[in-house]
Amino acid sequence: MAVYAMTGGATGIGAAIREQLCDAGHRVVSVDLRDADICADLSDYNGRQRAIDGIRQLCPEGIDGFIPCAGVGPSVKPPSLIARINYFAAVAVTEGVLDLLEARGGRVVMIASNSAPMVPLNDYVELLLDGEEEAACELADSRDTHSAYAGSKHAICCWLRRRSGELARRGIRINAVAPGIVQTPLSEKVLTDAELGQAMRDFGDSVPLGCIGQPKQIADVVSFLLGPGADYMTGAIIFVDGGHDAMLRPDDF
């Protein structure tokens, strides 16, 4: 039995990951706003610290894997909330449990998005990567929510790739899945959003494999990345999006 910690296990993709790992006989400690082993609001420092302290208390022997899955979608306002939860919380809690992962040769699987390559490494993404939370949030609030969302996921990908070499030397593998549209409460809010809904529905209609994804299809790949079959993988970003990224950027890899 392995011991995993995660955030965002209450609904959607996170709930599917939690269920799959529990069904396989593993122990999963989940952090979320509600329906969790550790209830914490990850949008601020105190909530992130509560999450880290709670995981340390419940898993003193270390963890075999960590999945920072909690996130909000591109319809959430103000856009700074997207930066705080999707990037700063994911990175802060991961950093806060690295020694627990190191103790058991653990793995991190981050949840990016196939929207990550839709924005460049711009000033907002640089501020995220520099850890400048207030400046990044101020900039996010001066722009649109889609840029805040895609930028937060772009930064997650850069952060994990930049850190993967050093973490490999500590015995920690770190990879990400980049889902396309997946049927969850988050995507439901975007698909019915007055501003983003039509574009999102059109995007969903253009998935090469013909439909949007299901949470289990993301959980299957997360489980693989947590397991022995992914022993030689670190620093990888796996698109699980029905072929959308390949369709949009065929020669860019």
* Choice between 31 and 59, CB closer to ligand NAI: 31
Are the beta carbons of 244 and 179 closer than 8 angstroms? no
Question: Would you call the peptide bond into 74 cis, given omega within 30 degrees of 0 as the criterion?
Answer: no
Beta bridge partners of 179: 240
Q: Which one of 78, 131, 165, 185 is in contact with ligand NAI (CB under 6 A)?
A: 185
* Choice between 155 and 181, CB closer to ligand NAI: 181
Q: Is 155 one of the binding residues for ligand NAI (CB under 6 A)?
A: no
Q: Which span sits near ligand NAI by CB under 6 A: 139-147, 179-187, 220-228, 242-250?
A: 179-187
Q: How far is the CB of 232 from ligand NAI (least distance, A)?
A: 25
Q: Which one of 4, 12, 133, 137 is in contact with ligand NAI (CB under 6 A)?
A: 12
Q: Is 184 one of the binding residues for ligand NAI (CB under 6 A)?
A: yes
Q: How many CA atoms lie within 13 A of 111 on its CB side?
A: 30
Q: Is 63 one of the binding residues for ligand NAI (CB under 6 A)?
A: no
The verdict on whether 124 is a catalytic residue reads no
Q: Under 8 Å CB-to-CB from 224, ≥6 apart: which residues?
A: 230
Output the CA torsion sign for 225, 14, 181, 42: negative
Q: What is the dihedral of CA 106, 167, 150, 136, to 10 degrees?
A: 120
Q: Is 113 one of the binding residues for ligand NAI (CB under 6 A)?
A: yes
